[in-house]
Each structure stands twice: as C-alpha cells, then as structure tokens.
C-alpha cells in the first residue's frame, strides 16, 4: 500500500472527524434554539431540523470508529478493501447515506407542504406527506436491512455490497430526476393574485427553488459518485478521492446549505394594503415567519 496514501487517509480521517462534529454542534444548537423559542408542535420543518444533526452525528460516529481502529490496530479502514472492514464500520458507514436520503426526501415533501400552504390546503398536504414519506422509507430501509444482512452474514459479501451500490445509485438518480421535474413544474405556476399572500408566496418559491437545486444536485452527485466508485474506480487512490468528494458534495455541504435555507424568512419587505380578497387573512402556513 502507498505510504503517502496512508498518511493522507489518516489526515482526512481526523479532519473530517472534526468537521462533522463541529457541524453537528451547529445544527444541534439551531434545533435547540427553535425548540426553546417556538411553541409550535413538531411539524415538518422542525422534523427536518431534527434530522440534520442526526445524519451529521452518524457520520461523525463512523469516523470515530475509523480513528479508533487506526489507533488500536493501525488499520486504515477508510481505504481498506471490503473483506478487511469490520461489521460495525460497514453498518455505520452505510447508514448516514440512507439517513441523508431520508432527510432530502423530507425536505422535498416540505416544499410540497409550503407550496400547498399558499392555497390553504395544508391539512391534506400534510397527510399526503406522511404517507409518501413513510412508504418510501419503509421500502428503502427494508432493502438496506436485507442487503446488510447479506453483506454481514453471507460469503458473497462483495456481490451483496455491489448490489447495494447499484440500488443506491439507481434510487438516487431516479429521485434526483423527479426533484428536477418538480422544480421546473413549480416555476411554471404563477402567484394567485397580487396580494400580501402572493408576495410571501414568491419568497417561498425562492426558498423552494434554492433547496430543490441543492437536493437535486446532491442526489445526482450521489448516484454518479457511488456508481463510479464501485464499478469503474477500482484503485485505492481513486476510491479514496471519490470518498472524500462524496462526503463533502453529497453530505456535509448539502446538509449545511439546507440548514441555512430553512432559516430564511418569508415576510416580504414591503407589504401592500390589500392582502386577501376572499378571507381577509393570510393562508394558514403563511401567517407567520418560516
């Protein structure tokens, strides 16, 4: 094994370990601030805020396991082949990716919730969100548990792990394309009327577009990097580089950008006098800052 590659892998392990724990603390403090300052129930937005530190913590724990194995046995699991991986490192290493998938999916459904809120359909939208989110995650995590069982308990570990990579790559590509279609279709709609509600709706559309672009790029990048890493980039150096790119582009950076996007306010700077011709009130979801 290349000594220079080993040294780089050790540096990356400690660097990413620090970065993930630091970002986890930021996301956790933001979540605690929301809980302390808001009296609302545990809605979709707060759930997204709660899932962000969870994914960052899972990946930080994975790097903790890698550092522990390195300090104890001098094994660099970040670039070790699959047969040399421990069961704990395999499970913890794959779980944060699925957690990020769930988080990005929930964010997309949250956009659907916001968009329908502009037309006073929040109750039906929220019911749809729960059903779709539960169905997708039951299917995805069911497949993951099955494949992890094959990876851990069977002799055909390489085949099962390659099957998981193909499943994750195809899944992320399909979801990324669906999100992109959703973004294009969303911007084809026009605000209902030129009112205060419409002004807020325009700001929500900007937030939706910002978060949709982030998740589309994250899903497509995940699909491409995972596919190339398992089926084309087979050398230790290429796998190491793709892993480093994947962690930044597909997990750490999107999670923090989503956290920033969720903090945007939706109150327009200038408010016209006429704000709703029908109910004389803002739609339910838009009656307060998001």
Q: Which residue has the higher pLDDT, 205 or 49?
A: 49
- Asked if 226 contacts 246 with a C-beta cutoff of 8 angstroms, the reply is yes
- Asked if 223 contacts 170 with a C-beta cutoff of 8 angstroms, the reply is yes
Q: Looking at the predicted structure, is the pLDDT value of residue 221 above 70?
A: yes
Give me the mean pLDDT over the 185-205 stretch.
57
Give me the mean pLDDT over the 88-101 stretch.
84
Share of the chain above pLDDT 70, in %: 71
Cα–Cα distance for residue pair 227/229, rounded to 1 Å: 6
Q: Looking at the predicted structure, is the pLDDT value of residue 285 above 50?
A: no
Cα–Cα distance for residue pair 96/15, rounded to 1 Å: 18
Res. 101 pLDDT band, cuts 50 70 90: confident
- Asked if 24 contacts 57 with a C-beta cutoff of 8 angstroms, the reply is yes
Cα–Cα distance for residue pair 206/228, rounded to 1 Å: 33
Share of the chain above pLDDT 90, in %: 8
Lowest pLDDT segment from 42-51, 56-65, 152-161, 218-227:
152-161
- If residue 197 lies in a helix (H) or strand (E), which one and from where to where? helix 196-231
Q: Looking at the predicted structure, is the pLDDT value of residue 167 above 50?
A: yes
What is the rounded average pLDDT for all residues in the chain? 75
Task: Tell me the range of 1-15, 117-131, 174-188, 262-276 where mean pLDDT is highest.
Answer: 1-15
Please give the DSSP secondary-structure letter assigned to residue 278. T
pLDDT of residue 287: 36
- Asked if 286 contacts 197 with a C-beta cutoff of 8 angstroms, the reply is yes
Q: What is the pLDDT of residues 43-66, one digit of tens each?
A: 677 888 888 899 899 999 988 988
pLDDT of residue 275: 38
**Residue 123 CB burial class (10 angstroms; 0-12, 13-18, ≥19):** exposed
pLDDT of residue 19: 92
Closest of 36, 185, 29, 218 to residue 115, by C-alpha: 185
Q: Looking at the predicted structure, is the pLDDT value of residue 268 above 60?
A: no
Beta-carbon contacts of residue 118 (< 8 Å; ≥ 6 apart) = 191, 192, 197, 200, 201, 204, 283, 285, 286
pLDDT of residue 186: 65
Q: Looking at the predicted structure, is the pLDDT value of residue 194 above 50?
A: no
Please give the DSSP secondary-structure letter assigned to residue 279. T
Give me the mean pLDDT over the 137-142 stretch.
91
Tell me how far CA of residue 243 lies from CA of 63, 79, 250, in angstroms.
Answer: 13, 9, 10
């Amino acid at each position: 094994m290349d000594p220079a590659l080993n040294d780089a892998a050790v540096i990356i392990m400690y660097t990413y370990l620090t970065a993930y724990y630091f970002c986890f603390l930021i996301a956790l403090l933001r979540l605690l601030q929301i809980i302390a300052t808001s009296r609302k129930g545990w809605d979709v937005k707060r759930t997204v805020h709660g899932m962000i530190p969870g994914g960052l913590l899972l990946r930080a724990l994975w790097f903790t396991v890698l550092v522990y194995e390195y300090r104890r046995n001098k094994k660099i699991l970040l670039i070790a082949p699959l047969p040399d991986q421990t069961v704990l490192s395999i499970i913890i290493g794959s779980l944060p990716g699925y957690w990020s998938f769930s988080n990005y999916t929930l964010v997309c459904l949250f956009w659907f919730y916001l968009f329908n809120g502009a037309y006073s359909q929040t109750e039906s939208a929220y019911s749809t969100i729960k059903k779709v989110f539960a169905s997708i995650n039951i299917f995805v995590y069911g497949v993951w548990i099955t494949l992890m069982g094959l990876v851990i308990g069977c002799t055909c570990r390489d085949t099962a792990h390659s099957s998981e990579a193909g499943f994750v790559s195809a899944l992320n590509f399909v979801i990324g394309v669906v999100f992109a279609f959703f973004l294009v279709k969303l911007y084809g709609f026009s605000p209902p009327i030129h009112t205060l509600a419409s002004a807020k709706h325009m700001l929500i559309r900007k937030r939706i577009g910002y978060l949709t672009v982030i998740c589309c790029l994250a899903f497509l990048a995940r699909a491409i990097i995972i596919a190339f890493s398992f089926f084309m980039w087979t050398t230790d150096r290429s796998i190491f580089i793709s892993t480093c790119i994947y962690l930044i582009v597909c997990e750490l950076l999107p999670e923090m950008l989503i956290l920033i996007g969720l903090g945007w306010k939706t109150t327009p700077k200038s408010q016209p006098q006429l704000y709703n011709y029908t109910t004389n009130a803002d739609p339910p979801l838009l009656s307060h800052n998001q």
